[in-house]
A and B are shown apart, each in its own frame.
Chain A
Amino acid sequence: EAEVAQSPRYKITEKSQAVAFWCDPISGHATLYWYRQILGQGPELLVQFQDESVVDDSQLPKDRFSAERLKGVDSTLKIQPAELGDSAMYLCASSWWTGDTDTQYFGPGTRLTVL
Protein backbone atom coordinates (compact mmCIF):
# COMPACT_ATOMS: atom_id res chain seq x y z
CA GLU A 1 0.00 0.00 0.00
CA ALA A 2 1.34 3.44 -0.95
CA GLU A 3 2.45 5.64 1.93
CA VAL A 4 3.45 9.21 2.58
CA ALA A 5 7.18 9.40 3.24
CA GLN A 6 8.81 11.92 5.55
CA SER A 7 12.38 12.54 6.58
CA PRO A 8 14.07 12.84 8.90
CA ARG A 9 12.00 11.02 11.52
CA TYR A 10 13.75 12.84 14.34
CA LYS A 11 15.64 16.13 14.42
CA ILE A 12 17.41 17.80 17.32
CA THR A 13 18.68 21.31 16.78
CA GLU A 14 19.70 24.34 18.75
CA LYS A 15 17.67 27.51 18.73
CA SER A 16 18.53 29.98 15.97
CA GLN A 17 19.59 27.14 13.65
CA ALA A 18 17.83 26.32 10.39
CA VAL A 19 15.97 23.04 9.92
CA ALA A 20 14.24 21.47 6.95
CA PHE A 21 11.75 18.64 6.63
CA TRP A 22 10.95 16.69 3.49
CA CYS A 23 7.72 15.01 2.42
CA ASP A 24 6.95 12.73 -0.53
CA PRO A 25 3.19 12.29 -0.93
CA ILE A 26 1.36 9.33 -2.36
CA SER A 27 1.73 9.29 -6.13
CA GLY A 28 -1.11 11.09 -7.85
CA HIS A 29 -2.25 13.06 -4.81
CA ALA A 30 -2.53 16.67 -5.89
CA THR A 31 -3.21 18.07 -2.43
CA LEU A 32 -0.48 18.18 0.20
CA TYR A 33 -0.71 19.42 3.78
CA TRP A 34 1.79 20.26 6.49
CA TYR A 35 0.58 20.10 10.10
CA ARG A 36 2.21 20.82 13.42
CA GLN A 37 1.26 18.79 16.47
CA ILE A 38 2.29 19.92 19.93
CA LEU A 39 2.40 17.16 22.53
CA GLY A 40 -1.07 16.50 23.95
CA GLN A 41 -2.89 18.45 21.26
CA GLY A 42 -4.41 17.66 17.89
CA PRO A 43 -2.63 18.52 14.64
CA GLU A 44 -2.93 22.10 13.41
CA LEU A 45 -2.76 22.94 9.72
CA LEU A 46 0.22 25.05 8.70
CA VAL A 47 -0.05 25.06 4.92
CA GLN A 48 -2.00 23.41 2.13
CA PHE A 49 -0.82 22.95 -1.46
CA GLN A 50 -2.85 22.14 -4.52
CA ASP A 51 -0.24 20.89 -6.99
CA GLU A 52 2.52 23.52 -6.70
CA SER A 53 0.27 26.36 -5.53
CA VAL A 54 -0.37 27.39 -1.95
CA VAL A 55 -4.08 27.27 -1.18
CA ASP A 56 -3.97 28.13 2.52
CA ASP A 57 -1.00 29.31 4.58
CA SER A 58 -2.94 31.52 6.97
CA GLN A 59 -1.58 29.68 10.03
CA LEU A 60 2.03 29.52 8.83
CA PRO A 61 4.35 31.84 10.83
CA LYS A 62 5.83 33.39 7.73
CA ASP A 63 8.56 35.30 9.52
CA ARG A 64 10.40 32.05 10.15
CA PHE A 65 8.58 29.25 8.32
CA SER A 66 8.55 28.61 4.59
CA ALA A 67 7.14 25.80 2.50
CA GLU A 68 7.50 24.90 -1.13
CA ARG A 69 6.34 22.25 -3.54
CA LEU A 70 8.18 23.29 -6.69
CA LYS A 71 7.14 20.55 -9.12
CA GLY A 72 3.87 19.72 -7.47
CA VAL A 73 5.19 16.46 -6.09
CA ASP A 74 7.42 16.43 -3.01
CA SER A 75 7.57 19.29 -0.55
CA THR A 76 9.95 20.93 1.91
CA LEU A 77 9.08 22.78 5.09
CA LYS A 78 11.81 25.02 6.52
CA ILE A 79 12.21 26.84 9.79
CA GLN A 80 14.81 29.57 10.10
CA PRO A 81 15.67 30.39 12.81
CA ALA A 82 14.25 27.67 15.04
CA GLU A 83 12.88 28.71 18.43
CA LEU A 84 12.26 26.67 21.57
CA GLY A 85 8.51 26.81 20.97
CA ASP A 86 8.89 25.07 17.62
CA SER A 87 9.49 21.73 19.33
CA ALA A 88 6.67 19.55 18.03
CA MET A 89 5.76 16.78 15.60
CA TYR A 90 5.56 17.97 12.00
CA LEU A 91 3.17 15.88 9.94
CA CYS A 92 2.72 15.75 6.20
CA ALA A 93 -0.45 14.45 4.58
CA SER A 94 -1.70 14.06 1.04
CA SER A 95 -5.15 13.51 -0.28
CA TRP A 96 -7.39 12.94 -3.24
CA TRP A 97 -10.87 14.21 -3.61
CA THR A 98 -14.03 12.17 -4.06
CA GLY A 99 -16.79 14.59 -4.90
CA ASP A 100 -17.07 17.20 -2.14
CA THR A 101 -14.66 15.78 0.40
CA ASP A 102 -11.33 14.00 0.67
CA THR A 103 -9.43 11.39 2.61
CA GLN A 104 -6.08 12.39 3.99
CA TYR A 105 -3.17 10.01 4.35
CA PHE A 106 -0.54 11.00 6.90
CA GLY A 107 3.13 10.27 7.04
CA PRO A 108 4.90 9.14 10.21
CA GLY A 109 5.97 12.69 11.05
CA THR A 110 9.21 14.40 11.99
CA ARG A 111 9.70 15.01 15.68
CA LEU A 112 11.63 18.23 16.19
CA THR A 113 13.35 19.10 19.45
CA VAL A 114 14.82 22.57 19.77
CA LEU A 115 17.37 23.00 22.55
Chain B
Amino acid sequence: DAKTTQPNSMESNEEEPVHLPCNHSTISGTDYIHWYRQLPSQGPEYVIHGLTSNVNNRMASLAIAEDRKSSTLILHRATLRDAAVYYCILRRLDQTGANNLFFGTGTRLTVIP
Protein backbone atom coordinates (compact mmCIF):
# COMPACT_ATOMS: atom_id res chain seq x y z
CA ASP B 1 0.00 0.00 0.00
CA ALA B 2 1.22 3.46 -0.89
CA LYS B 3 1.84 5.37 2.34
CA THR B 4 2.38 8.95 3.35
CA THR B 5 4.71 10.63 5.84
CA GLN B 6 3.64 13.67 7.82
CA PRO B 7 5.08 15.55 10.79
CA ASN B 8 3.44 14.50 14.04
CA SER B 9 2.58 18.04 15.06
CA MET B 10 2.71 21.67 13.97
CA GLU B 11 1.81 24.99 15.51
CA SER B 12 0.53 28.15 13.92
CA ASN B 13 -0.52 31.55 15.12
CA GLU B 14 -4.10 32.53 14.53
CA GLU B 15 -4.76 34.38 11.26
CA GLU B 16 -1.44 33.33 9.77
CA PRO B 17 -1.01 30.91 6.85
CA VAL B 18 -0.22 27.28 7.59
CA HIS B 19 1.64 24.91 5.30
CA LEU B 20 1.16 21.24 6.17
CA PRO B 21 3.62 18.98 4.31
CA CYS B 22 3.15 15.40 3.17
CA ASN B 23 5.65 13.05 1.56
CA HIS B 24 4.45 10.20 -0.63
CA SER B 25 7.52 8.97 -2.48
CA THR B 26 5.88 5.68 -3.55
CA ILE B 27 2.87 7.32 -5.18
CA SER B 28 1.70 5.74 -8.41
CA GLY B 29 0.26 7.44 -11.46
CA THR B 30 -3.33 6.54 -10.54
CA ASP B 31 -3.18 7.68 -6.90
CA TYR B 32 -5.19 10.73 -5.96
CA ILE B 33 -3.93 12.81 -3.03
CA HIS B 34 -6.67 13.47 -0.50
CA TRP B 35 -6.64 15.51 2.68
CA TYR B 36 -9.05 15.00 5.52
CA ARG B 37 -9.10 16.56 8.94
CA GLN B 38 -10.53 15.40 12.22
CA LEU B 39 -11.65 17.85 14.83
CA PRO B 40 -11.73 16.69 18.45
CA SER B 41 -14.47 14.14 19.15
CA GLN B 42 -15.71 14.17 15.56
CA GLY B 43 -15.41 11.96 12.50
CA PRO B 44 -12.96 12.99 9.79
CA GLU B 45 -14.11 15.53 7.23
CA TYR B 46 -12.99 15.97 3.66
CA VAL B 47 -10.79 18.97 2.93
CA ILE B 48 -9.46 18.74 -0.61
CA HIS B 49 -8.01 16.38 -3.20
CA GLY B 50 -5.92 16.52 -6.36
CA LEU B 51 -4.09 14.41 -8.90
CA THR B 52 -1.41 16.49 -10.60
CA SER B 53 -2.39 20.14 -10.64
CA ASN B 54 -2.69 22.51 -7.70
CA VAL B 55 -6.23 22.81 -6.38
CA ASN B 56 -8.15 25.47 -4.50
CA ASN B 57 -11.46 25.33 -2.68
CA ARG B 58 -13.19 27.33 0.01
CA MET B 59 -11.38 25.50 2.78
CA ALA B 60 -7.80 25.27 1.57
CA SER B 61 -5.32 24.97 -1.28
CA LEU B 62 -3.36 21.90 -2.30
CA ALA B 63 0.07 22.31 -3.86
CA ILE B 64 1.41 19.18 -5.55
CA ALA B 65 5.07 18.82 -6.45
CA GLU B 66 5.89 18.31 -10.09
CA ASP B 67 7.14 14.76 -9.45
CA ARG B 68 4.10 14.13 -7.19
CA LYS B 69 6.27 12.72 -4.44
CA SER B 70 5.14 15.41 -2.02
CA SER B 71 2.29 17.81 -1.48
CA THR B 72 1.40 20.68 0.83
CA LEU B 73 -1.96 21.61 2.28
CA ILE B 74 -2.25 25.37 2.69
CA LEU B 75 -4.64 27.03 5.10
CA HIS B 76 -4.54 30.68 4.14
CA ARG B 77 -5.58 32.12 7.51
CA ALA B 78 -5.63 29.73 10.41
CA THR B 79 -8.47 30.09 12.87
CA LEU B 80 -8.99 28.38 16.20
CA ARG B 81 -11.55 26.15 14.49
CA ASP B 82 -8.80 24.77 12.26
CA ALA B 83 -7.14 23.03 15.21
CA ALA B 84 -7.40 19.37 14.23
CA VAL B 85 -5.50 16.32 13.05
CA TYR B 86 -4.85 16.57 9.32
CA TYR B 87 -4.48 13.38 7.31
CA CYS B 88 -2.81 13.10 3.92
CA ILE B 89 -4.12 10.02 2.11
CA LEU B 90 -3.47 8.35 -1.20
CA ARG B 91 -6.64 7.02 -2.82
CA ARG B 92 -6.42 4.24 -5.36
CA LEU B 93 -9.10 2.02 -6.87
CA ASP B 94 -7.70 -1.44 -7.43
CA GLN B 95 -8.96 -4.15 -9.77
CA THR B 96 -11.36 -5.59 -7.20
CA GLY B 97 -13.08 -2.27 -6.68
CA ALA B 98 -11.63 -1.93 -3.20
CA ASN B 99 -10.49 1.51 -2.17
CA ASN B 100 -7.04 0.99 -0.72
CA LEU B 101 -6.86 3.57 2.00
CA PHE B 102 -4.28 4.37 4.66
CA PHE B 103 -4.86 7.25 7.05
CA GLY B 104 -1.61 7.12 8.99
CA THR B 105 -1.30 9.16 12.18
CA GLY B 106 -1.62 12.58 10.59
CA THR B 107 -0.37 15.99 11.74
CA ARG B 108 -1.88 17.53 14.82
CA LEU B 109 -2.25 21.26 14.18
CA THR B 110 -2.35 23.58 17.16
CA VAL B 111 -3.53 27.13 16.54
CA ILE B 112 -2.27 29.69 19.01
CA PRO B 113 -4.53 32.67 19.72
Contact = CB atoms under 8 A, between A and B. Distances in A.
Interface in A76-110: 91, 93, 100-109
Interface stretch (B9-17, B70-78, B97-105): B97-105
Nearest to B99: A48
A101 B91 contact: yes
Interface in A18-76: 31, 33, 40-45, 48, 50, 55-56, 58
Contact of A55 (B43, B49, B97, B102): B97
A104 B97 contact: no
A108 B46 contact: no
Given A55-B97, A56-B96, A100 B44 contact: no
A108 B45 CA distance: 10
Tell me if B's interface is mostly helix, strand, loop or mixed.
Answer: loop
A30 B97 CA distance: 13
Given A101-B91, A108-B42, A109-B43, A42 B99 contact: no
B99 A56 contact: yes
Nearest to B97: A55
A58 B42 CA distance: 26
Interface of B: 30, 32, 34, 36, 42-46, 49, 51, 85, 87, 91, 93, 96-99, 101-106
